[in-house]
Structure 1
Amino acid sequence: MAKSEAVKDPATKGKLKLILLAVVGLLLAIGLSVGATWFIMHKSEPAPAAEAAASNVKPAAIYEALTPAFVVNFNQNGRQRYMQLSITLQARNQADLDALKVHMPVIRNNLVMMFSGQGFDTLASSPVGQEMLRQKATAVVQEVAQKEVGKPVIDQLLFTNFVLQ
């Protein structure tokens, strides 16, 4: 009996060492994996793509309605015609928009003069004429802003109401 116990002990010890080495190796591999992941995830400098995305973000749009609405009359084929426009300005900087508000009488005057010079048929026939008018109006406001404030200030001029009668 003593011989069989002696034979079992070396085999058991060998298997135990093998299992112990496998467990230690597995724990070491897990530790290295966790350490490498933590190191990669917690770099001190952000990724260049994140920096580029952060620099491309525009400030929120600010809208300023021009009140009262613009009313312009036309004489077409001996008939009196009217156009009513409600306009909103879109900008990105409140301070610049406030500086532009000081010059609102000049802006309104230039817009009324520009609107009065338009042809009724062009505006009534298609949305293309209305879009061209919107672009011209945007250019008029940006021109006044450039002259008075030193920069265009507004991104675009929007027609919030457009009525031809």
Structure 2
Amino acid sequence: MIKWLAAGLLLLSSGLCSAAEEEAALADYAYYGFEPEIVTNYISNRKKLGFVKLSVELMVKAPEDLIAIEHHDPLLRAAIVEILGNQPEAKIKSLTGREEIRRECYDMVNRLMEQETGRPLIVNLLFTTYLYD
């Protein structure tokens, strides 16, 4: 019984240490938000143009990376606008389509940052607001 208790406490304490280590590692992450929000048209099945408005946040591993992201903001914004503008209405309006678009934007901005800086800086790309009509 004591062996099981000791083994359980050891596992619990090692779990707490790794959780603390993960929290410390996450503390260095920083976010870059595009200002103003991105608003563009997309391919609509209706007679009028559809539009999508979204807030995009880029997650980077180190706060120093924000300088490069800010410097290349126009390039990254243009890439996201181009991706959104080429999407069909059904994809814009579906949850799975939105995730595919988010992933495509993430891949593109990371590729662009790798071309410009020599390394992929983006850890994640988040849509914090996603509105469409």
Q: TM-score, normalised by structure 1?
A: 0.63
Shift of 1:55: 7.4
Matched residues in 2 for 1:87 and 1:100: separation?
13
Amino acid at match of 1:63: Y
**Alignment identity in percent?**
26
Matched residues in 2 for 1:63 and 1:100: separation?
10
Contact 1:86 1:161 in 2 (8 A): yes
Of 62, 67, 89, the match for 1:93: 62
Amino acid at match of 1:76: N
Partner of 1:106: 75
Matched residues in 2 for 1:130 and 1:78: separation?
23
In the alignment, structure 1 residue 133 sits paired with structure 2 residue 121: no
Of 37, 40, 48, the match for 1:69: 37
- Cα RMSD for the two superposed structures: 2.1
Contact 1:122 1:129 in 2 (8 A): yes
Q: Which runs of 5+ in 1 are unaligned?
A: 1-48
How many aligned residue pairs are there? 115
Matched residues in 2 for 1:101 and 1:80: separation?
31
Matched residues in 1 for 2:121 and 2:54: separation?
21
Matched residues in 2 for 1:100 and 1:82: separation?
26
Matched residues in 2 for 1:96 and 1:117: separation?
29
Could you say which structure has the larger radius of gyration?
1
Equivalence map 1:23-34=2 (5 Å): none
SS in 2 for 1:68: coil
Partner of 1:58: 25
Matched residues in 2 for 1:72 and 1:123: separation?
12
Matched residues in 2 for 1:100 and 1:79: separation?
35
Matched residues in 2 for 1:84 and 1:99: separation?
25
Q: Which runs of 5+ in 2 are unaligned?
A: 1-13
Equivalence map 1:2-81=2 (5 Å): 53=18, 58-60=25-27, 61-74=29-42, 75-81=44-50
